[in-house]
Amino acid sequence: MNVPRIALTAGEPAGIGPDVILTAAQHTWDAELVAIADPDLLHERAQALGLNITLSPLDPNAPAEIRPAGTLGIQPVPLHHPTRAGKLDPANAPYVIETLREAVKGCQKHIYQAMVTGPVQKSVINDAGIPFTGHTEFLAEACGTPQVVMMLATRQLRVALATTHLPLREIANAITPELLTSTLNILHTDLRDKFGIPSPRIAVLGVNPHAGESGHMGREEIDTLIPVMEALRADGMDLTGPLPADTAFNPKVLDNSDAVFAMYHDQGLPVLKYAGFGEAINITLGLPLVRTSVDHGTALELAGSGEADWRSLEQAILIACELSQGQNTRR
C-alpha cells in the first residue's frame, strides 16, 4: 500500500489549530501526518493540554511512513513572535502565510499528496497589512489557478458556492455567465474525477427568493442562470433548477443530487453547518492539488483548554487521504 503524506497547517497560532492537530496525532493513521508549524508552539501547547508528543523532522527524500500514536512529523516554520493561547498578535500573520506557502510548495513538489488547513483569523492577517480574504482565494493565487470553487461537505451533503467571501450587495453583479459556466464545470469535473461520481447530479439554487418568481422578484434567473444551465445541459451536464433556496434542502431534492450549487456563502452554508457542524469540512475544487480544511474558526476562547472538538479535522484528514489515494485511512 502506498502511504500518503499529508501536510497539516496549524493556522492561527493563538487559536485551536495546534490543539486539534495534537489531538489527531494521538491516533494512528494509514498516512503520514506532517505539521507545518513552529515546533516550540506545538510542544508548549501539548504541555498545556497534558498530551505527550514526539515531533519527527520531515525527510522529504524518504518514503512516507505510518507513525505510531503520539508521534507527528514536523516541517519547522518559526513564529515571528512568542504567542499565548487566545491572544492574537499581528506579528505572527506572516508566519501563518508562510506555513500555507510551504504546504503548497510541498504539494507541488509531490512531497505531500494533500494539504489540510487549520483555521486562520482573517482579521489579524489584514491588521498586519497582508491582503487576505480566505484560504480559497489565497490558494487559487498561490497555485496560479484562475478559478476555484469552495465546497463544504459532510458524509451526506455537499454544498458548492458560485461566490465566496463577498459582501451581499456585490453578489448579483458577480454572478455572470462566465462565472457560472466556469464554476459549474469545475464542480462537475471534480465530482467526476476526484470523487468518482461518473455522472454528477447538481441541484442549482436561484439567486432571488422563490428563484425570482418568474421575474417578479429579480431577473437573474431568467437572464443569467437559465441560459447558462441550458447550454451546459446541452453539453451533457445533469443540472436541476434554478431551485428556490428555501425549499431545495429537502429529501426529494437531496436524494437525487450529488451536490447543491449555491449562489453565495450564506445561502447554502448555514444549512450544511446546521446539519453537520463539527464534522463538516471545506474542500477547494479546481486546484492542481488536494486541499481540505476544518469548517470552524479559531475558537480563541478554547485554545489551550482541552475543550476543542477535533472531529472536523478528523474528517478533513480522512477525505484528504481518500481524494489523494482512494483509501480509508484512520484505524
Binding site members for a divalent metal cation: 165, 210, 265
Whole-angstrom distance, CA of residue 17 vs CA of residue 239 = 37
Question: What single-letter DSSP state applies at residue 221?
Answer: I
DSSP for 133-161 reads --HHHHHHHHTT-S--EEEEE-SS-EEEE
Task: Note whether 289 and 194 are within 8 A (CB).
Answer: no
Whole-angstrom distance, CA of residue 313 vs CA of residue 21 = 8
Angle between helices 135-142 and 93-108 (to 10 degrees): 50
Whole-angstrom distance, CA of residue 9 vs CA of residue 18 = 9
Binding site, annotated residues: 135-136, 165, 210, 265, 273, 282, 291
Task: Note whether 46 and 53 are within 8 A (CB).
Answer: yes
Query: What is the sign of the dihedral through the CA atoms of 183, 189, 194 and 196?
Result: positive
| Measured distance between the N- and C-terminal CA atoms of the chain, rounded to whole angstroms | 15
Helix (H, G, I), strand (E, B) or coil at 306: coil
Cell numbers at 274, concatenated: 446546521
Cell numbers at 149, concatenated: 470553487
Helix (H, G, I), strand (E, B) or coil at 76: strand
Binding site, annotated residues for substrate: 135-136, 273, 282, 291
Angle, CA 45 vertex, CA 83 and CA 32 arms, to 5°: 115
Separation of CA 222 from chain center: 32
